[in-house]
């Protein structure tokens, strides 16, 4: 992140800080209005993509599988419950990403019989667990940095 981006983020956090406090305890009848203002600021300044890139999908799948081993269908269901769509390629794209993660040694797949069909259950390998831990540490560091900026305001 360059200096201009840091300044922009600091300014955004200054603007959002009071909104976060209001969200925690909004005035009676103002909850929806405050939430809408908060979302508007975030979406205008740092809009989130509605589609996942393959790298984002890889990270998200590793995180989901770290929480609980799952088959492709379960993973698709979990992704569809979230904020994102699978990036234009359709739900089948997940299987290519899972195959790449498996061939790179981050996942291990094992065929099992379910009540209606054979399913491939995926779990993290040691290398996959290490990757998730590294990414989690980076996210925690970014979160701590953002919190530090909030305390300065």
Same domain, 26 and 56: no
Give the helix/strand (H/E) hosting 85: strand 85-86
Question: What domain range is 29 assigned to?
Answer: 3-47
What angle do helix axes 126-152 and 54-67 make, rounded to 10 degrees?
Answer: 100
Same domain, 20 and 75: no
Count structural domains, the chain. Answer: 2
CATH number for the domain spanning 103: value is 1.10.10.10
State the pLDDT confidence band at 39, using cuts at 50, 70 and 90.
Answer: low
What's the confidence (pLDDT) of residue 107? 98
Same domain, 118 and 59: yes
Same domain, 87 and 127: yes
Same domain, 40 and 69: no
What's the confidence (pLDDT) of residue 25? 55
Same domain, 101 and 88: yes
Same domain, 122 and 57: yes
What's the confidence (pLDDT) of residue 75? 92
In a domain? residue 152: no
Same domain, 20 and 61: no
pTM (predicted TM-score): 0.62
Give the helix/strand (H/E) hosting 62: helix 54-67
CA gap 16, 21 in Å, rounded: 9
Same domain, 43 and 67: no
CA gap 139, 108 in Å, rounded: 25
Same domain, 37 and 62: no
State the pLDDT confidence band at 138, using cuts at 50, 70 and 90.
Answer: confident
State the pLDDT confidence band at 67, using cuts at 50, 70 and 90.
Answer: very high
Same domain, 105 and 120: yes
State the pLDDT confidence band at 55, using cuts at 50, 70 and 90.
Answer: confident
In a domain? residue 25: yes
Same domain, 26 and 43: yes
CA gap 54, 60 in Å, rounded: 10
Q: How many CB atoms lie within 10 A of CB 34?
A: 19
Mean pLDDT of 15-24: 55
What's the confidence (pLDDT) of residue 126? 96
């Amino acid at each position: 992140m360059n200096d201009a981006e840091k300044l922009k983020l600091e300014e955004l956090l200054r603007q959002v800080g009071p909104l976060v406090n209001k969200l925690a305890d909004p005035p009676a009848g103002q909850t929806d209005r405050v939430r809408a203002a908060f979302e508007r600021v975030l979406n205008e300044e740092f809009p989130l993509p509605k589609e996942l890139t393959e790298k984002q999908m890889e990270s998200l799948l590793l995180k989901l599988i770290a929480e609980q081993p799952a088959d492709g269908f379960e993973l698709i269901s979990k992704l569809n419950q979230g904020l994102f769509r699978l990036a234009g390629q359709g739900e089948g794209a997940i299987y290519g990403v899972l195959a790449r993660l498996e061939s790179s040694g981050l996942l291990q797949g094992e065929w099992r019989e379910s009540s209606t069909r054979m399913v491939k259950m995926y779990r993290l390998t040691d290398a996959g667990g290490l990757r998730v831990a590294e990414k989690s540490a980076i996210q925690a560091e970014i979160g701590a940095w953002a919190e530090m900026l909030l305390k300065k305001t």
